[in-house]
Structure 1
Amino acid sequence: MARRKKGRDVHGWLVVDKPKGITSNAVVNKVRWAFEAKKAGHAGTLDPEATGVLAVALGEATKTVPYITDALKAYRFTVRLGQATNTDDTEGEITATSDARPTDGEIVAALGAFTGDIMQVPPKFSAVKIDGERAYELARDDEDFEIAARPLWVEELVMVARPDPDHVVLEMTCGKGGYVRAIARDLGEALGCFGHVAELRRIWSGPFDAEDGVSMERIEELARTPEIDDLLRPLEDGLDDLPELRCTAEGAAKLRHGNPGMVITSDAEYGDEAWASHEGKAVAVGIYRAGELHPSRVFNQ
């Protein structure tokens, strides 16, 4: 007999404003403990020294994680010009320096090459797998290896401040799989002065905004109390980018058993991925065809 997971059946999203000095997995473990939840996961890792939106899914909301992972995200970050590091951030060792400092105009002109569909080589200190091993493990062992470039969609990359000649503050909106550290590294090389990330904050991710984020202090304050559930956002927030279809009780029952169910369409067209709701609660995600939703994921809230 399979062992039952300990914990509560609690479902929804918690938008954490992650502080510096803690890993994304440590945040998830703390949230899971605080809610006494059976299941938890996050939608997009932040480096330990990065801050901002870390969207944590609990229970059935973990089934909506891919939709947040695939959504656009925005970052505000400071690039330290004149220095390259082996980690492409302040945690690493300085590997090269330059006295050259670009003008504001030169920086703005260079940003265009990093927008649209670009190819990006992830940092060597990253979780990318090389022949089954994490790149950061190989890098720590001083192994000689190369990482293949990967496609990335950058919707916008703009300069928002130039505090001093050594630093520039940028904001980037991008798709899935982008490394801000790689942007800083490559921009520094393009400007002929080297560069690395000095500060990084994810200001929004899909429908979740850092301004609405909950602090770790607040989570610890309310941990394992009834009041902590008030911090949760509904599972349905993770489906924000998909059309919503409403269904009857009969249609919901069929969908919950994994069968096609009748729905009332709104913006969905034949073949679209969409989600069905009954009495305001998500029932399933699937493909809409001729008045029915054919489910691929079913929710049991």
Structure 2
Amino acid sequence: MGRKRKGRDISGWLVVDKPAGPTSTAVVNKVRWALEAKKAGHAGTLDPEATGVLAIALGEATKTVPYITDALKAYEFTVRLGIATNTDDAEGEVIGTSDLRPDDAAIKDVLSGFIGDIQQVPPQFSAVKIDGQRAYKRARDGEEMDIAARPLWVESLLLVDRPDADHVTLEMVCGKGGYVRSIARDLGQKLGCLGHVRELRRTWSGPFEVKDALTLAQIDEMARTPELDTHLLPLAEGLAELPEVKATPEGASRLRNGNPGMVIAHDVEYGEECWASLDGQPVAVGRFKAGELHPSRVFNLSTDKTEG
């Protein structure tokens, strides 16, 4: 029998403004410690040197992580033109240089080719698996890999600033699985001048915005106090992309046992994924069929004291 994990049964979301340096996993561990939570996870990795929105799910909210991971996200990043690195960011070794510096018009013209459904090759130093091993581990050993291109939806990619001839600041809204470092690398290649990411900041992720985020310093200051609990957002925030249906009391009881339950729905199509609530509390996520929700995820919030 496994050892029972210690900690509080709390469910909800805490939005962190991640600083440059720590890994996303380190931030999760810090939040779990500060809230004395049994369970925590993040919705979308940020590279150690990246900053900005890192949404941390607590308790039952971890079941909604896929919906945030799949949601659109916005990034603001600065590309250093004229230099390519082996990591596609400022942490890597220089592998190429160029004296060419395209003007703003040339950059804007090339950006249009990155919008919509594109194919993107992840960086050599990335967490994608190649023959069962993380690419970055093989890259550290000096191995150069052929990494297959992956589909990415780019909603928008805009030039927002040109601090000097060597740097360009861009804003991108994209779907799941986007590598900003790949965008910088490919942009530099298409412009013929090379390039890498100098700075990267995620400004929002699904429903979570940087204005709602706490810094690690603030989390340290409020750690293990009731004040930190007041910054938790409800579990339902992670379901913002899905339509809501209302469970009947009897339906909620059936849903909590993993069975189809009766719900009241408006403007929801047969087979559509949605979430059911009872008295404002999330009960389950599933598919709507003929007046019932067929659950795929069930929430157990009976012991949670912080769920709003």
Quick check: TM above 0.5? yes
Once the 2 structures are TM-superposed, how far is the Cα of residue 277 of structure 1 from its aligned partner? Answer: 0.2
1:90 aligns with 2:90: yes
Structure 2: unaligned runs, 5 residues or longer: 302-308
Q: Mapping of 1:265-280 within 5 angstroms?
A: 265-280=265-280
> 2:4 is matched with which residue?
4
Could you tell me how far apart the structure 1 residues matched to 2:20 and 2:115 are?
Answer: 28
- Deviation (angstroms), 1:275: 0.3
Alpha-carbon shift at residue 102 of structure 1 (Å): 0.2
Secondary structure of 2:270's counterpart equals coil
Amino acid at match of 1:124: Q
Q: Secondary structure at the match of 2:142?
A: coil
Identify the residue that residue 180 of structure 2 maps to in structure 1.
180
RMSD after superposition: 0.7
TM (norm. structure 2) is 0.97
Once residues 6 and 123 of structure 2 are traced to their aligned partners in structure 1, the CA distance between those partners, rounded to angstroms, is: 38
Structure 2 counterpart of 1:88, which letter? D
1:249 paired residue number: 249
Distance 2:156 2:25 in 1: 29
Q: Which amino acid aligns with 1:199?
A: E
Secondary structure of residue in 2 paired with 1:231: coil
Q: Partners of 1:144 and 1:82 in 2: how far apart?
A: 22
Task: Tell me how far apart the structure 1 counterparts of residues 73 and 144 of structure 2 sit (CA, whole Å).
Answer: 32
State the alpha-carbon separation in 1 of the partners of residues 144 and 268 from structure 2: 50
**For residues 59-78 of structure 1, what are the structure 2 equivalents within 5 Å?**
59-78=59-78
Could you tell me which residue of structure 1 aligns to residue 114 of structure 2? 114
- Determine if contact 1:85/1:95 at 8 Å carries over to the other structure: yes
**Contact 1:243–1:266 (Cα < 8 Å) also in 2:** no
Q: Which residue in the other structure is 2:25 paired with? A: 25
1:197-219 Cα shifts (integer Å, max 9, x gaps): 00100011000001111110111
Q: Which residue of 1 aligns with 2:296?
A: 296
- Contact 2:124–2:144 (CA under 8 A) maintained in structure 1: no
**TM alignment of 1:134-213, pairs within 5 A:** 134-213=134-213
Amino acid at match of 2:300: N
Cα deviation 1:150-179 (Å, max 9, x = unaligned): 010101001001110000000000000000
Letter in 2 for 1:21: G
Equivalent residue number for residue 133 of structure 1: 133
Matched position secondary structure for 2:230: helix
Unaligned runs of 5+ in 1: none
Query: In structure 2, what residue type is equivalent to 1:33?
Result: W
Q: CA deviation at 1:268?
A: 1.2
Q: How far apart are the structure 1 equivalents of 2:142 and 2:81? A: 25
Deviation at residue 180 of structure 1 after TM alignment? 0.2
Contact 1:53 1:208 in 2 (8 A): yes
**1:267 Cα deviation from its structure 2 partner:** 2.4
Letter paired with 1:197: V
Tell whether 2:108 aligns with 1:102: no
Residues in 2 aligned to 1:227 and 1:260: alpha-carbon distance in whole angstroms: 39
Aligned-partner Cα distance in 2 for 1:29–1:204: 21
C-alpha deviation, 1:81, in angstroms: 0.3
Moved more, 139-148 or 184-193: 139-148
CA distance in 2, matches of 1:82, 1:27: 33
How many Å apart are 1:239 and its aligned residue? 0.3
2-side partners of 1:2 and 1:238: how far apart?
Answer: 29
How far apart are the structure 1 equivalents of 2:151 and 2:85?
23
- 1:236 aligned residue: 236
- For each residue in 1:225-262, what CA deviation from the matched residue of structure 2 results, as whole angstroms up to 9, or x when unmatched? 12211110000000001010011221111100001111
Q: How many residues align?
A: 301
- SS of the residue corresponding to residue 284 of structure 1 reads strand
